[in-house]
Every structure is written in structure tokens, then in C-alpha cells.
Amino acid sequence: MGSSATLLVLLFVLGNGVAVTMGRFLRTEVEVIEEDLDEELFLMKKSKLVANTSVGKIRVFYDSRVPERRLQTAITTMEPRSLLTPHLVAATQVMYVRSGEAKLGYIYKNNQRLTQMRLREGDVYQIPAGSAFYIANEESDQKLEIISGIEPSQGLRDDVFESFYIAGGANSGLSGFKEEILEASFNVSQEEVTVLINQQKGKFVRLKDSQATGTWSKFLELKEEEKLQQLREMVQQGQENEEVEKEDEESGDDEEEQQQTSLPWRMLFKSVFGEEIKNTREKITEDPPRSYNLNKRKPDFENKYGWRVAVDGSQYHPLKSSGIGIYHEYLSAGSMMAPRVNPMATEYGIVVNGSGRVQVLFPNGSNAMDTNITKGDVFFIPSNFPYCEIAHKGESLELLGFTTSAQRNRPVVLVGARSVVRTMEGPELATSFGVSKEEIKHLVSAQHESVILPTP
């Protein structure tokens, strides 16, 4: 038997052996997936445009077939001078700025602080679940692209997460309330409520059009304390309305319907900004977490065929709370990532540049998927499934991805100069394959490169 054929058999056997040893994958789950076998089994084909305007888009990729903890992947693109209006998301987001520069504003630290910061190309930042935030692209000549790993809420199975937009006029979460309820909540006239709801028509708005975006353009220009003061005033108005309603209730007025309907709006602002009012005079000394620039981090591994860098909670502590890791890898034209298996986490990959091929095996060593991938494709690799990524000979392959573990998580490399088979070289391994010690030594030492390899 030739060396290459023997090595292929070795890979299949090791794939099965690692899965059995780890004991983390249930047989019933394998059977369920095998029934749905096709050549693009682990490509995430389901996606949804949750926002689609001339100035900004958000596309979310999702798949419910992952047998373990699931993530969703979002790609947000924003034109120059645009704003993603303030909203709440019931999911933790780990954002990576692929290109451009973003101005991020969100409520920090248990709803007690409004944080504003600049995120530049390569920056990673985590937005905790339930945080209110907005993103502005204030650049006049550069688009903004953000790739996010999102953990949806527990009850969501086969659909994308939903955002609650605080602003955005007819597209906001407020537009469905009756006018009298909004009048009472804001303590303003019907005419002012009409302007508030009808002025904007989208989740994304332009910053350069003063007539269309005057409210939020002016808001973004305010200093941090001035922004907070405006938000406090909104909540204060809601509290005053609540006190009036209590007095009416005590006097016997029947306003039950209005109280019940306006409650969600009051609860929203109380939960987001209520603590800020209580701590108006309290000096907050703790600074918010800084961003982490993935592009400036030295690769965990690098050779002439490519590189790979991964960040977990030990390098960027906010990731510990989400349990999400992030990685970035590059394969030069014609090179390949050595066959490996991740025993601790499911991996999600997005092709951000180039094209190539990915092959995935079932834990029993049989083929699960072998397909070409190109820019824009999203795929996932369940834990304990051996896999390999290969760049096409005429084009490099660049991937950005997320993992479902924020612990130190290094995939187990199966073949190569630094690998399982190289470390296990000895009479036991030779006996396992039914070959001599000399033959196994030749087979496992023939490859002088490790982790990222040249293709034949």
C-alpha cells in the first residue's frame, strides 16, 4: 500500500478513535445527521435579511441542526454617513470590524453607564445580551462591515433573533402603541408624537440628510452627559405619568387598559435607564472594557503557507461571560490546514476572501461533506468531527470564525510534524495498523511541516 493511501486510512481510524475516546457525541445524533447527508451538509444555507435599506443591511445565517450549543452569524454592512438606530437584542454579540470604522454607543455595566467608543478595523468587542446600543459610520468615504457571532435566546430554535428598535419611527418597537399611550408615556402632545413616529422610516438612516435624521444627528453630537440627561428626562416623564396613573387609580378612575398597555414601554426605559437616574450624582469610576484588535495579535501559528490566530477569554476577558471565542486564519494558494478535530467546541467559519474546499468526516471516519467554498459562504463544524480546509491552487483562502468555547481551545492536529500520530509513534501504533516499526516511522515522519501544509 502506498504512503498516501496508508495515511488516509490512518486519518479515518484516528477520527473514529478520538471520538470514541472523548465520548462526547451521542450515536443518535450521528444517525439523525447521516439521514440528511448531502455534499453541502454543514453549509449554513438558511439566512435572513433582518434589515435591508439603501444605507445598511444585516444578514443573519442560522441553522438548527447543530447538535450542541448553537450560534448565529450576522454580517452588517453600512454605507458612509449612516446610523444603525438604537435597539435592544436578546442575545450576546461578539463583533469583529472587518473594514471601516464604527462609533459604538451602548448602555454599560448593569444599565448604569452610556459608553461611547471608536472601533477600528480588526477590533473585537462584546455587547452583552439585553444592552441598548447604536452604531454610526461617520466616515464620508468608507463603508463599514461588521461580522458578529450571536448566541440566540434559549427558546429560539429555527429562526433568527429579533431586535427591539427603540428608535426608527414606523419601524420601531413603539410604532404599534396607540397615540394616547405614547402621549402619556412621553408626556407630550399628539402632534409631537406623530412627528416622532413618522419622521423616520428605517432601522438604518443617513447622517448627511439633516431633514431626515436631524433628531439622531443632533443626539450623536451631544456630549456623553448631555445624552444621558435626555434619556433621564424620558424616564422621568414616564415616572411622573405613572404617579398620575396611581392617583387616578386611587380616586377610582378606570384606566386599566391604558396602564396595562403602557407598562411595557415604562418597563423598557426603567430596565435600561432607571438605574442611571438613581445614580445621577454617583461617580462611576470603573471604565468599560476596551476593544481587542485581532489583526495586531501575533499569530498562534505561522509558516510560509499561512497563519492562524485565535482569541479566547484568557486574552480578552469579556469573552468569558459569553463563552464565545473568535479566530482568523489565512491559507496561501494551494496550501491546506492539517486534518484536525475540535473536541471542545463547535466552530463556525465565514469565507471573507478567496475560495477553497472543506472536507468533514463523521466521528466514525466516513465522509460527511466535501465541498467547495467561496467568499460569503458560512459553514459549521460540530465538535469531534475531523475536518480539513484547503485553498484552491490559484487563490488564497481567508476565514473569520467563532467557536462555542471561550476557554483555551486548541484543535487536536491529527497529521503533520506536530500531531497526534507523530507523538504516538511507537510499536503500539505500528501494531494498531499492522505494519512494522520502520514503516510507521517513515509514514509519520515524512511530513516536515506542521499545522498548515503544502498540498501535493
pLDDT of 169-222, one tens digit each?
555 556 667 777 777 777 777 777 776 666 656 688 888 644 444 455 555 566
Beta carbons of 400 and 377 less than 8 angstroms apart: no
Beta carbons of 192 and 179 less than 8 angstroms apart: no
CATH T-level topology, domain 48-289: Jelly Rolls (2.60.120)
The superfamily CATH assigns to domain 3-36+297-454 is Jelly Rolls (2.60.120.10)
Give the CB-side neighbour count of residue 47, counting CA atoms within 13 A.
18
Alpha-carbon span 368 to 358, nearest angstrom: 11
Whole-model pTM above 0.75?
Answer: no
Residue 277 one-letter amino acid:
I
pLDDT of 115-158, one tens digit each?
889 999 999 999 988 788 899 999 989 999 999 999 876 555 55
Query: Same CATH fold, 48-289 and 3-36+297-454?
Result: yes
- Residue 282: the pLDDT is 45
What is the domain partition of the chain in residue ranges?
Answer: 3-36+297-454, 48-289
Alpha-carbon span 403 to 311, nearest angstrom: 10
- Residue 230: the pLDDT is 62
Beta carbons of 95 and 119 less than 8 angstroms apart: yes
Compute how many other C-beta atoms are within 10 angstroms of the C-beta atom of residue 396: 17
pLDDT of 47-58, one tens digit each?
999 888 899 999
Q: Cα 384 from chain centroid? A: 22
Cα-based angle 147, 294, 285 (whole degrees, multiple of 5): 95
Whether the per-residue pLDDT at 409 is higher than 60: the answer is yes
Beta carbons of 376 and 354 less than 8 angstroms apart: no
- Residue 371: the pLDDT is 94
pLDDT band (50, 70, 90) for residue 233: low
Compute how many other C-beta atoms are within 10 angstroms of the C-beta atom of residue 417: 16
pLDDT band (50, 70, 90) for residue 429: confident
E strand intervals along 267-391: 292-293, 301-303, 306-311, 325-331, 335-337, 340-341, 347-361, 367-374, 378-381, 387-391
